[in-house]
Amino acid sequence: MARFGGLLATDLRDVTTDPAALDSTGWWAVVADFEGGLTCARFGDVRPCRAPAPVPGRWRGPAPEQWTSSLDRAAYTAGVRRIREHIAAGEVYQANLCRVLSAPLPDPSTADVDDLTALLARGNPAPYAGTVRLPAHGVEVATASPELYLRRSGRTVESGPIKGTGRTAEDLLEKDHAENVMIVDLVRNDLGRVCTTGSVTVPALCAVEQHPGLVHLVSTVRGEIAPGAGWAELFTATFPPGSVTGAPKASALEIIEALEPAPRGPYCGGIGWVDADRGTGELAVGIRTFWIDRAGPGGPVLRFGTGAGITWGSDPEREWAETELKASRLLAIASGAHEPLEGTKR
């Protein structure tokens, strides 16, 4: 099953790794791993359905103290310093450094990511929240993403990169604005590879958006897809999303591979839906995202990713604190240690 934007999809008809299928027929759920793996699932029954209310005790998450990180504080801050060395050498302007948090599930046989999605919807409402549950295909994802990767309506395509995070707008620094502008330029270039010449615009630059527990700087980049191009060409031109890689993207990806010991999986990939019949779709950047990994040698675990964009102006301890800020609320919800504020709304 899959759940996005007030729709519930059931009756699985087809699963493929071919992005060209998204321009065929039917309604598809999409999960693209940061490393390039793609799962597209076509469903036969898609109907309006409110997000379910969380049922007390149905989701049993890890104990708060059981989470471990692929990079501890010392390793992460060392990685920030290493990226600054790459910047000083002129090899990159910005790179995203991420870590993957993992914890064992207390009862993996009954763990349902849709139950976790219900908890996230109450405790951390997000514009691109959703579930994709395909256990036979190794995909069990619950996302509370605030970031738009690609939205398509006919030939029009739009991206909403986020760069710059703080507890309040007053926390945002000049470094955050500079980082956002750098990534907007990268996204413009990416979309320019698949859009008609002169059609790529930036309707909004560095707008401040409020989200539960923090604020983000968000920009909008829009273009018109060139004749003959479709979802396959969009992925080729833009994936992985620029906001979670860096600039230049090729150099940033090399640095990420060298510094990050764990694969990101659906974290920092693309998660969402495509309605091929209507020529529409909405994919989020896979941040604020949990997934169940049942294939590891230590048994089933719940995973979650967090990271920060590193520039020359980055302070290693501040960047570590940003990754903690992004993770703390979500981990508390998944572990059952968070109560939403009164009046929290989607």
Q: What is the pLDDT of residues 250-298, one digit of tens each?
A: 999 999 999 999 999 999 999 999 999 999 999 999 999 999 999 978 8
Examine residue 208 and state whether it is found in any structural domain, yes or no: yes
Q: How confident is the prediction for the chain on average, in pLDDT? A: 94
**Is 254 annotated in the active site?**
no
Q: What is the CA radius of gyration of the chain?
A: 19
Distance in angstroms (rounded) separating the CA atoms of residues 28 and 26: 6
State both tokens at 137: 């295909």
- Res 230: pLDDT: 97
Distance in angstroms (rounded) separating the CA atoms of residues 225 and 78: 41
Domain count, the chain: 1
Examine residue 65 and state whether it is found in any structural domain, yes or no: yes
- Res 342: pLDDT: 39
Of the residues 65, 85, 140, 147, only one is catalytic, namely 147
Supply the pTM of this predicted model: 0.94
Examine residue 121 and state whether it is found in any structural domain, yes or no: yes
CB neighbours of 152 closer than 8 A, spacing ≥ 6?
158, 225, 231, 234, 274, 279, 280, 281, 282
**Is 147 annotated in the active site?**
yes
Distance in angstroms (rounded) separating the CA atoms of residues 328 and 222: 32
Distance in angstroms (rounded) separating the CA atoms of residues 276 and 185: 29
Confidence of residue 131 (pLDDT cuts 50, 70, 90): very high
pLDDT exceeds cutoff 60 at 130:
yes
Examine residue 342 and state whether it is found in any structural domain, yes or no: no
**Which structural domain, as residue segments, surrounds residue 222?**
2-334
Examine residue 188 and state whether it is found in any structural domain, yes or no: yes
Examine residue 178 and state whether it is found in any structural domain, yes or no: yes
Give the CATH number, domain containing residue 311.
3.60.120.10
Examine residue 344 and state whether it is found in any structural domain, yes or no: no
State both tokens at 150: 């690609």
Examine residue 271 and state whether it is found in any structural domain, yes or no: yes
Of the residues 140, 163, 224, 249, only one is catalytic, namely 163
Beta strand segments in the chain, E: 2-4, 7-16, 27-32, 38-48, 68-69, 94-104, 128-134, 139-145, 148-153, 156-160, 162-166, 201-211, 214-224, 246-247, 270-275, 280-285, 289-293, 301-310
